[in-house]
Amino acid sequence: MDPAGVATSLLVLLAANNSSVLDCVCNHVASVTDKMSYGDGLMWETYCQDLGHEPPAAEDEECGRALAEVRHLTEDSSRELTRGLIRSVAADCIRSCSVQGLDNMEWNLETLQKDRLRSATLSKLLHAVQQITRAINHRNRLVLDYNWEFLHNDQNLSKTEFQAEIPVFLEHLSDYWRDSAQLLSLGVKHFSQLLVPLAFEQMGIHSNDLQRHEWIKSMKHLRDMLHTKLSGWVHDVQSVSEQMAYYKVEEHKNRPGTYILRRPLLNHDLLSYHERFLSFRDDFTALCVARHRRASQMFGLADALYSFYYYNWFFDLQFVGDIESLDEEWQREDRSNAMLSVDSDCVQLLANALDHPTCPLEDLPPETKNLRERCRVQLWDDMVQRSPHVPVTSYLAYTQRANINLCLWPG
């Protein structure tokens, strides 16, 4: 079979049988004691290492076929396999990492006190989080290697051959960012579902039923705050993914045979503006502790989950494009005659919240909640219209002109 056919055949196997076949292959590769084949080494370096394998299970037909295909891989077929693995790993997780039956799960005192239900739900969610983490980490490793090899033309293609490959590379880049947004969105959903039952187990609530009901209500407010924050990341990644159509590849002027990315103003480097640490505990504990004596622990748990999400899912996205690039020059538009329309209700809301901050875990009247939501949408839309080159949530998070967090968290 020709090299491209070997890679295609293997990818068909993986697509049909998801990660179980790939894991079986990895277990066999891990057990090789003599010299590895080229294909074994490729699979180990790009996917299998650091997985913590167990001894190989009894080999089924699909695993045996996949292993045979791996050992027929050559250097010529490796690029197609790497590109296919990037798509395969993402598609498999998007299809299988979702926890079914939890969309309508409502955590209340009755459901939280059912140990078997709570433990089973937590186990499913934590397993899903582990699988998403694994998928994201493996894809990032594959993409880093693939992007570097392509732009440095490690296969020594002629200029004509390389130009023909550019559309395929850009399509791969677009697919990667689109799938990243889907994986991150799936992760945000699971994190939102995870917070309340995890907090119930970790914090050991010992109080009367009324106090427990109040604690659960406060944790749901905190869950919504964390969801709002993490959803902003997803929004930014989606914004970046939509710009992939404007990425271009061009030859380095001073190093023939080496290529660079020319990127639009809105590109993935702007994701680095997202803060590495959440400061819910520092920002809100003093405001909430009088009524919620466990406020510091509650906010601390949200901060910890944010850090996990950032360092395990979001952080590496900033470096997937860590290859030589050239950004478009800034174009400053004359806005001297622009008319600025301001919603006075939103301005008053911001002023009141800054002058008289309140605990974000408190219940709010429906009209205040509706106003906050309307103002949040307006602010985001305003940033998009006035500064389309900056992802909107990054702008709000890092201008530091006002503590927007105090004003717009959902009530």
Q: Is residue 217 part of a domain?
A: yes
What separation, in Å, do the N-terminal and C-terminal C-alpha atoms of the chain show? Answer: 62
Domain boundary among 34, 64, 96: 96
Q: Are 157 and 165 spatial neighbours (Cβ–Cβ below 8 Å)?
A: yes
Shared domain check, 144 and 284: yes
Shared domain check, 217 and 270: yes
Alpha-carbon distances of 369 from 225, 326, 373, 407, rounded to whole Å: 13, 44, 6, 11
Shared domain check, 104 and 78: no
pTM recorded for the entire structure: 0.78
Q: Is residue 339 part of a domain?
A: no
Shared domain check, 315 and 266: yes
Query: Which burial class, exposed, middle or buried, applies to 152 when counting CB atoms under 10 A from its CB (0-12, 13-18, 19+)?
Result: middle
Q: Is residue 356 part of a domain?
A: yes
Tally of domains within the chain: 3
Q: In what order do the strands lie in the sheet with 325-327?
A: 248-251, 259-263, 325-327
Domain boundary among 76, 96, 116: 96
SS3 state of residue 407: helix
Shared domain check, 310 and 163: yes
Tokens at 357, concatenated: 């901050």
- What is the extent of the structural domain holding 41? 1-96
Shared domain check, 226 and 160: yes
Shared domain check, 348 and 317: no
Q: Which helix (H) or strand (E) is 251 found in, with range?
A: strand 248-251
Q: Are 357 and 409 spatial neighbours (Cβ–Cβ below 8 Å)?
A: no
Q: Is residue 244 part of a domain?
A: yes
Shared domain check, 305 and 180: yes
Shared domain check, 356 and 314: no
Q: What are phi and psi of 277, to 5 degrees?
A: -130, 135
Shared domain check, 296 and 384: no
Shared domain check, 198 and 252: yes
**DSSP per-residue letters across 67-82:** HHHHTT--HHHHHHHH
Domain boundary among 302, 330, 358: 330
Shared domain check, 110 and 228: yes
Give residue 58's identity as a one-letter amino acid code: A
Q: Is residue 336 part of a domain?
A: no
Q: pLDDT by residue for the chain (411 residues), tens digit each?
A: 444 555 666 666 665 555 677 778 888 888 877 788 888 887 787 677 756 556 555 457 788 888 888 887 777 676 677 777 777 778 888 888 888 777 677 888 888 888 899 899 999 999 888 888 888 887 887 787 778 778 877 667 788 888 888 898 888 888 888 888 999 999 888 888 889 999 888 876 667 778 888 888 999 989 988 888 888 788 888 888 888 888 888 888 888 878 888 888 777 777 776 778 888 899 899 999 988 888 999 999 999 999 988 888 887 776 665 556 666 665 555 555 555 455 677 777 777 777 788 888 888 888 888 888 777 777 666 554 444 444 444 444 434 333 444 444 554
Which residues have C-beta within 8 Å of that of residue 273, sequence separation ≥ 6? 391, 394, 397, 398
Q: Are 81 and 3 spatial neighbours (Cβ–Cβ below 8 Å)?
A: no
> How far apart (Å, rounded) are the C-alpha atoms in residues 120 and 92?
23
Tokens at 268, concatenated: 């993935």
Q: Is residue 337 part of a domain?
A: no
Which residues have C-beta within 8 Å of that of residue 363, sequence separation ≥ 6? 217, 411
| Nearest CA among 390, 269, 320 for reference residue 143 | 320
325-327 vs 259-263, strand pairing mode: parallel
